Chains A and B, each alone.
Chain A
Amino acid sequence: MLCEECKKRPAMVHFTKIVNGKKMEKHLCKECAQKFGEFGIKFDEDFSISNLLGKFFETSEPSIGLEISHDEKCSFCGMTYREFSKRGKFGCSQCYSTFNNRIENVLKRIHGSSYHTGKVPKRTGGKLRLKKEIMALKQQLQNAVKEEAFEKAAELRDRIRQLQQQLERE
């Protein structure tokens, strides 16, 4: 897509402006976007998302929404989303939260799920381990009730109570 202003350079910045529920779009190259005063954004040479969004929130009216196809960048390792898509590898563990919104579907496509149900680190995952164990026991309790195995259900109930108390203490 070419820039709507100069019609020469490729459009790098895409604005969506919503005024009274009416959507307007504008596609500009970096240079023209810089000149474009309407949105009240001045671009730095450093074209990072945090910078851009930061400036946007500083200057914009609350009714204006902004959509940017420019690359997100991980603040810890510097990996951009585009780089990740190209390599298929994240740069660091923080990339998972940086790109969280965009990878949810990727993970679902690969694994059919985006939620971990397996092992939790023994030392650092204390509370989470308890929570997961309680959840698993509650499931067992439901099954026991369904099967009318009341003795087992009572045992499970006591164990759940015990773990819940432990969770509160921690």
Chain B
Amino acid sequence: MSIKNNIKISKWMEGSGPESDIVISSRIRLARNLMNFPFTHMMTQKQAEKIFEEVKETIENNSVLAKDIEIIKIKDLSLIERQVLVEKHLISPALAENPEGAVFLTEDNSLSIMVNEEDHLRIQCLYPGLNLEKAWDINSKIDDLLEERLTFAFDEKKGYLTACPTNVGTGLRVSVMLHLPTLVMTQHINRIFATIGQVGLTVRGLYGEGTEAIGNIFQISNQITLGQREEDIINNLKNVTQQIIDRERSARDYLMKERSMHLKDIIGRAYGTLKHAYVVSTKEAMELLSNVRLGVDFGLIEGIDRKLLNELMILIRPANIQKFYETELDEEQRDIKRAELLRRYLGSM
């Protein structure tokens, strides 16, 4: 089931793909800069416009790139509309803040080419489930097509040159969004995350750097971009992800076997609250949706699929809920409308 509304569904929300009970989405992002221009934070408005025009021309003149792609300029969007795209993970918070920024976005939202982000170009591919190879394959091809006309800043020794030295080399950021409720319940999560840091990976919240992990959703990504090949970075992250998936699965099995009543109670209460509550904050909604998702994974709750849960997870965010109801809402009003939305889609089952 899917929600009919004014907000387009993104490919990554489909709830399909390998390991999709635990891996919500896979993301590959490449940072590229054009030669002979200063980096974005040092550019004049004219230079920023020139970069946008060059990228636009490149995309429009390539039949593969131009297919089903839409140009969105940040300055043409309202503050809420910008935030809607951030909440859907289609653009970065940094891009949303730059009035000279723009994004080329495909119809299914699986590809965003951000212009004038921290780097001149940020190419992002976003797919449902554990699908890093496919995302890399497509992203690398898009990179090649753009490079047919654009000349990227590249150094034989240091690789692709980026504004921040933490991205130099491959310019590659690989990340997976994971739902790990039982690793949190059993408190295994901290030990796992402590180990992750030792293999050059990092854990972040739902919206990347500096954001809190709510609703038991975590983003794991690589930190090292220089000295390793893209394939190695991707494989490393994939292997670690696979191990975390295995741990989460055994924690689920363990709880279902040893603490079955307790687990069912948590899931049932969450579902009940979402179906009948009248005021719900984002954080509470995310926590309850996490438990309902677990119930769906266990087959305890029927008639709801992951796709609907993914959509709800985004629709209840502060900007998306305002866009959904096509009206500006303050925090208190949002909590009421959020509860209304959740009752509507979960309560009527």
Contact = CB atoms under 8 A, between A and B. Distances in A.
Contact of A111 (B140, B163, B227): B227
Task: Using C-beta atoms within 8 Å of the partner chain, give the interface range for chain A.
Answer: 20 to 34
Nearest to B140: A119
Question: Interface residues of A: mostly helix, strand, loop or mixed?
Answer: loop
Contacts of B228: 113, 117-118
Contact of B38 (A77, A103, A116, A122): A77
Given A110-B166, A111-B225, A118 B153 contact: no
Interface stretch (A31-39, A63-71, A87-95): A87-95
Contacts of B160: 116, 119
Scoring A77, A79, A103, A119 by chain B CB atoms within 10 A of each residue's CB, the highest score goes to: A119
B161 A119 contact: no
Contacts of B230: 118-119
Nearest to A116: B159
Contacts of B166: 110
Interface in B29-64: 33, 35, 37-39, 41-42
Interface string B129-172: 00000000000100110011001111111111111111011101
Question: Interface residues of B: mostly helix, strand, loop or mixed?
Answer: loop
Nearest to A93: B153
B226 interface: yes
Given A116-B170, A119-B140, A121-B152, A93 B229 contact: no
13 contacts: A76-B38, A88-B165, A92-B37, A96-B168, A106-B165, A110-B223, A111-B226, A113-B224, A116-B157, A116-B227, A119-B229, A119-B230, A125-B154
Interface of B: 33, 35, 37-39, 41-42, 118, 140, 143-144, 147-148, 151-166, 168-170, 172, 200, 223-230
